[in-house]
Amino acid sequence: MPDLKLSRRNLLTKAGAGFGAIGLAIAMCQESRGGTATGLSGGMRDLPHFMPRAKRVIHLFMNGAPSHVDTFDPKPMLAKYEGQQPTGKLYNPSKGTGFMPSPFRFSPHGSSGVVISELFPQLAEYADDLCVIRSMHTNVPNHEPGLLMMNCGHLQPVRPSLGSWISYGLGTENENLPSFVVLSPGRPVVGPQLWSNSFLPGQFQGTSVDTNDLDVEKMVANIRHPLLDSAQQRQQLDLLLAMNRRHMQQRENEAIFDEQIRAMELAYQMQSEAMVAFDIARESDQTRQRYGNTPFGQSCLLARRLVENGVRMVQVHYVSKKNKQPWDTHTDNNGQHRRLCEDSDRATAALLSDLKSRGLLDDTLVVWGGEFGRTPYSQVDNKKSDTKPGRDHHHTGFSMFLAGGGVQGGLMYGSTDEFGMHAVENRVHVHDLHATIMHLLGIDHQRLTYRYSGRDFRLTDIHGRIVNDILA
């Protein structure tokens, strides 16, 4: 006879035992048709496929697309040919006044001599850690499909995001925190599709956090009971667990009940852990100032706290409440880049500095970039005579950089043509970038698949080439 006695002490002792957050390796997810069953922590049993170089990823997303010729890809020819019309079908001459040189000075930095524009003075100190890819390209010059491609590997919605795939494959390092967190002070263009789990199980969706208000309870839904303190809630939870335990014992201890009980205990523990991990107020004023008192700066600091606490992937979108894509500099490209880069420079450098000093940069991959680049030629708003020239969307050649996590630092990889129009040497498509990020995480992008609608889907579809040249 199972012991059904409900005396509090007797049952509560039992209920409290063995539900800790540790060692929950049992299969908890019923949904396993797409592959091997996953545990509460997520993750596939046969992953990683090989020894990973990176354990986690921070993706700093410059929404709207930064200009490569003003940041990481100097093009002196633009000065020589200033005002001349580029040829080719991609150029729309009605919009601009021809090639527009960058007003920003470029110089080599570090012992490696990575060339960076004056817009990134602090980041330049980490030149030897950066792997700048100057030969990125993507499929179309429109934000929506460009964002979807960069985040989900497909031009239309309804594909899981990079972060969801990574969570699905590797699970989380900390069962008390979500494995994929998206920090965004406001909503980027396209929005939730960018961190969608799509057909993967719901637990792999990115947990999106609005970082406009850094109060933990505002950022994380349901993280704290509105009325109960921790002791009162523990008491309530003990009652609940006793009820559930008894209910289960009356039902042959079937595993589905145990899963629920464990998840409940885990949730309770998650509260305290998440309250700490998300609480940016625990950082010193000095640290907070190093990152910059801006939504992006503070989000980068939060990203560091989250990866320190075992979150697998953190994405920081550079957006604001009012502007879903600040880097979309169709007008006053130069002025806007000066302002945006100052913010991004400070925060990114602080992040790299902290990751380095904590020894985390070795196995944390930092990715910096937008959905594409901007035209080397200008764009002028003819309706307003007094606006300064901007740059238009540009997808056939642009720059991104990677740092840490098993990539070669101090490297400039690939190149665009002499005007920065097209990636010509060592071209890297977004699919290739995805394949490489996955490779660094120990995932074979061709083998991490999910069966849906009669097919095995993967992030890179039928594409993707690992950029071996940039691996450390």
Residues in 205-224 that interact with other proteins by CB under 8 A: 205, 207, 221-224
Among 73, 175, 343, 363, interactor with other proteins by CB under 8 A: 175
Residues 75-134 interacting with other proteins (rule: CB under 8 A): none
| Nearest of 434, 413, 410 to residue 424 by alpha carbon | 413
For helices 8-16 and 230-249, give the axis angle rounded to 10 degrees: 90
How far are the Cα atoms of 65, 121, 290, 406, 422 from residue 354, in angstroms, in the given order? 26, 17, 10, 17, 35
| Nearest of 253, 275, 229 to residue 237 by alpha carbon | 229
Among 102, 198, 375, 379, interactor with other proteins by CB under 8 A: 198
Neighbour-count burial of 24, counting CB atoms closer than 10 A to its CB (0-12 exposed, 13-18 middle, 19+ buried):
middle
Given the complex with other proteins, which of 103 and 157 has the nearer CB atom?
A: 157
Does 437 engage in binding with other proteins (CB under 8 A)? no
Among 216, 237, 360, 467, interactor with other proteins by CB under 8 A: 237
Q: How many residues bind to other proteins according to rule CB under 8 A?
A: 88
What are the residues facing 114 on neighbouring strands? 109
Among 97, 244, 408, 415, interactor with other proteins by CB under 8 A: 244
Q: From CA 67, how far away is CA 327, in angstroms rounded?
A: 8
Q: From CA 167, how far away is CA 202, in angstroms rounded?
A: 11
| Nearest of 189, 188, 181, 166 to residue 220 by alpha carbon | 181
Among 43, 66, 96, 153, interactor with other proteins by CB under 8 A: 153
Among 233, 309, 320, 415, interactor with other proteins by CB under 8 A: 233
Given the complex with other proteins, which of 23 and 202 has the nearer CB atom?
A: 202
Stretch that binds other proteins, among 70-78, 200-208, 298-306, 325-333 (CB under 8 A): 200-208
Coil, helix or strand for 323? coil
Residues 258-317 interacting with other proteins (rule: CB under 8 A): 259-261, 263-264, 266-268, 270-271
Does 426 engage in binding with other proteins (CB under 8 A)? no
Among 45, 451, 469, 472, interactor with other proteins by CB under 8 A: 451
Does 454 engage in binding with other proteins (CB under 8 A)? yes
State the minimum distance, in angstroms, from the CB of residue 240 to other proteins. Answer: 4
Q: From CA 374, how far away is CA 376, in angstroms rounded?
A: 7
Neighbour-count burial of 408, counting CB atoms closer than 10 A to its CB (0-12 exposed, 13-18 middle, 19+ buried):
middle
Residues 24-53 interacting with other proteins (rule: CB under 8 A): 28-31, 33, 40
Q: Which residue has the tokens 């990134």?
A: 120
| Nearest of 241, 203, 188, 148 to residue 434 by alpha carbon | 148
Given the complex with other proteins, which of 175 and 363 has the nearer CB atom?
A: 175
H helix runs in 119-254, sequence order: 143-152, 162-170, 216-219, 230-249
Given the complex with other proteins, which of 74 and 442 has the nearer CB atom?
A: 442
| Amino acid (1-letter code) at residue 80 | K
Given the complex with other proteins, which of 265 and 354 has the nearer CB atom?
A: 265
Does 139 engage in binding with other proteins (CB under 8 A)? yes
Does 471 engage in binding with other proteins (CB under 8 A)? no
Does 228 engage in binding with other proteins (CB under 8 A)? yes
The site string for other proteins over 374-413 (x = CB under 8 A, - otherwise) reads ----------------------x-----------------
Among 4, 25, 276, 472, interactor with other proteins by CB under 8 A: 4
Does 321 engage in binding with other proteins (CB under 8 A)? no
Neighbour-count burial of 98, counting CB atoms closer than 10 A to its CB (0-12 exposed, 13-18 middle, 19+ buried):
middle
Given the complex with other proteins, which of 103 and 191 has the nearer CB atom?
A: 191
Neighbour-count burial of 445, counting CB atoms closer than 10 A to its CB (0-12 exposed, 13-18 middle, 19+ buried):
buried
Q: From CA 35, how far away is CA 189, in angstroms rounded?
A: 32
Stretch that binds other proteins, among 48-56, 242-250, 337-345, 407-415 (CB under 8 A): 242-250
